[in-house]
């Protein structure tokens, strides 16, 4: 039997949720280009699309938005668990622990859209609560009048967010919602296939997401932009990196061999917002400079901007600490996880792959 390390190229499921085509640079959510959704839609609309299969009309959107808002508040039982955890615990560990605890109250089978809505609505509140606790700040209660993205920023900072920051983060969260059969999504479907509950499946996905090879924060891009500092320094700084033969952070991707559609969408959002924030200005200029120099130094390598580059510029602009980069990614991807969990339940068959034994054999009897 041929070895397939990491299950590369193995089809584990059929799905109607998304298409990821790295060769063509395509990312499709249920028949829509993800980059167009990120530019033109709100978080609530795209979450509805992934869960229900179609974009909502105005009446459906209003009812759905109200459901999300009504599930933002921390239940006392969850608040008690959070307050009992050591304040030094990393945010991702807190999220995994809390979601595992939620499984005690959730019906084990089958999972429901209502559960998906509740878990998704609560996740930003958990992140903000823990961040402010670690920072020695009072917890901010959800602001009913704000949308999902704006409320997340409000609970983190305690202030009304900058509209430019809301628009940029909204695009990032939409583009982070779903990306095919990645490690965390696969983990969620494997757990759910045992007829475990949705909260346990999401807890398993969070465990996969916190690994640096999957949900690693784009801190290298932040460091690069910090080192460049101003637009005037960009060309000289990038030339020095390339002439030393070092990797330029935020360029190239394992899946996409052409332009990353997520980066394309975030570029458009960032360019539209340039002038509203100096970090957006620096990121746009640095990206254009780097693309030209990469073609000069490494012709034909097809090294384009990946999603981490513009994600980093957005995170830096909204002053999000690096410790919250992966949690913010998690707040986006929970929609995709729960959509896959619901889909798995519809056609469920427990995952039971084989392995190839490579150890010694006992002596013949």
DSSP 96-130: HHHHHHHTTTS-SSS--HHHHHHHHHHHHHHHHHH
Task: Answer yes or no: are the C-beta atoms of 301 and 257 closer than 8 Å.
Answer: no
Per-residue pLDDT tens over the stretch 4-55? 677 777 788 899 999 998 778 889 999 999 999 999 999 999 999 999 999 9
Q: Give residue 134's pLDDT.
A: 95
Instruction: Cite the DSSP H helix spans in the chain.
Output: 34-40, 43-52, 58-70, 76-84, 91-102, 113-134, 148-157, 163-176, 183-193, 198-209, 212-215, 219-228, 234-243, 261-273, 278-297, 307-317, 325-346
Per-residue pLDDT tens over the stretch 68-124? 999 999 999 999 999 999 999 999 999 999 999 987 655 678 999 999 999 999 999
Assess whether pLDDT exceeds 90 at residue 300: no
Per-residue pLDDT tens over the stretch 266-275? 888 877 777 7
Check: pTM over 0.95? Answer yes or no.
no
Mean pLDDT of 227-233: 94
pLDDT category of residue 138 using cuts at 50, 70 and 90: very high
More confidently predicted of 261 and 42: 42
Task: Answer yes or no: are the C-beta atoms of 249 and 223 closer than 8 Å.
Answer: yes
Assess whether pLDDT exceeds 90 at residue 305: no
Distance (Å, whole) CA 161 – CA 235: 33
More confidently predicted of 353 and 94: 94
pLDDT category of residue 301 using cuts at 50, 70 and 90: confident
pLDDT category of residue 234 using cuts at 50, 70 and 90: very high
Assess whether pLDDT exceeds 80 at residue 2: no
What domains lie within the chain, and their CATH numbers? Answer: 18-212+321-346 (1.10.580.10), 219-317 (1.10.230.10)
Assess whether pLDDT exceeds 60 at residue 332: yes
Q: Give residue 254's pLDDT.
A: 60
Assess whether pLDDT exceeds 90 at residue 148: yes
Buried b (16+ CB within 10 A) or exposed e, 13-32: bebebbebeeeebebbbbeb
Mean pLDDT of 297-307: 80
Mean pLDDT of 249-262: 72
Least confident of 118-127, 168-177, 275-284: 275-284
Assess whether pLDDT exceeds 80 at residue 365: no
The residue from 131, 165, 179, 253 that is catalytic is 253
Mean pLDDT of 159-181: 94
Q: What percent of the chain has pLDDT over 70?
A: 95
Q: Give residue 212's pLDDT.
A: 80
Q: Give residue 273's pLDDT.
A: 75
The residue from 42, 44, 308, 343 that is catalytic is 308
Q: Give residue 238's pLDDT.
A: 95
* Residue 253 annotated as catalytic: yes
* Residue 179 annotated as catalytic: no
């Amino acid at each position: 039997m041929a070895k397939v390390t990491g299950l590369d190229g193995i089809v584990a499921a059929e799905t109607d949720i998304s298409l990821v085509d790295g060769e063509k640079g395509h990312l499709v959510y249920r028949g829509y280009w993800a980059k167009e959704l990120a530019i033109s839609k709100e978080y609530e609309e795209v979450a509805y699309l992934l869960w229900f299969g179609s974009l909502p009309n105005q009446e459906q959107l209003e009812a759905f938005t109200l459901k999300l808002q009504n599930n933002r508040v921390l239940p006392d039982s969850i608040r008690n668990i959070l307050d009992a955890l050591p304040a030094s615990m990393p945010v991702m560990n807190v999220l995994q622990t809390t979601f595992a605890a939620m499984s005690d109250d959730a019906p084990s089978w089958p999972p429901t859209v209502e559960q998906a809505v509740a878990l998704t609505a609560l996740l930003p509140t958990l992140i903000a609560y823990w961040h402010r606790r670690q920072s020695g700040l009072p917890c901010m209660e959800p602001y009913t009048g704000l949308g999902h993205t704006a409320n997340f920023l409000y609970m983190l900072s305690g202030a009304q967010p900058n509209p430019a920051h809301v628009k940029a983060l909204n695009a990032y969260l939409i583009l982070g919602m779903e990306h095919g059969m990645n490690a965390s999504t696969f983990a969620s479907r494997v757990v759910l296939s045992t007829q475990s509950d949705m909260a346990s499946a999401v807890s398993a996905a969070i465990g996969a997401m916190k690994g640096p090879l999957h949900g690693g924060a784009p801190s290298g891009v932040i460091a690069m932009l910090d080192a460049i500092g101003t637009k005037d320094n960009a060309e000289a700084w990038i030339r020095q990196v390339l002439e030393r033969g070092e990797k330029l952070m935020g360029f190239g991707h394992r899946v996409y061999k052409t332009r990353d559609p997520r980066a394309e969408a975030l570029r458009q959002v960032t360019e539209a917002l340039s002038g509203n924030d100096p970090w957006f200005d620096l990121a746009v200029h640095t990206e254009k400079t780097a693309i030209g120099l990469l073609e000069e130094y490494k012709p034909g390598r097809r090294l384009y901007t990946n999603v981490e580059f513009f994600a980093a510029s957005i995170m830096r602009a909204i002053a999000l600490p690096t410790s919250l980069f992966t949690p913010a990614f998690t707040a986006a991807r929970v929609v995709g996880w729960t959509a896959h969990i619901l889909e798995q339940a519809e056609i469920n068959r427990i995952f039971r792959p084989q392995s190839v034994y490579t150890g010694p054999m006992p002596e013949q009897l």
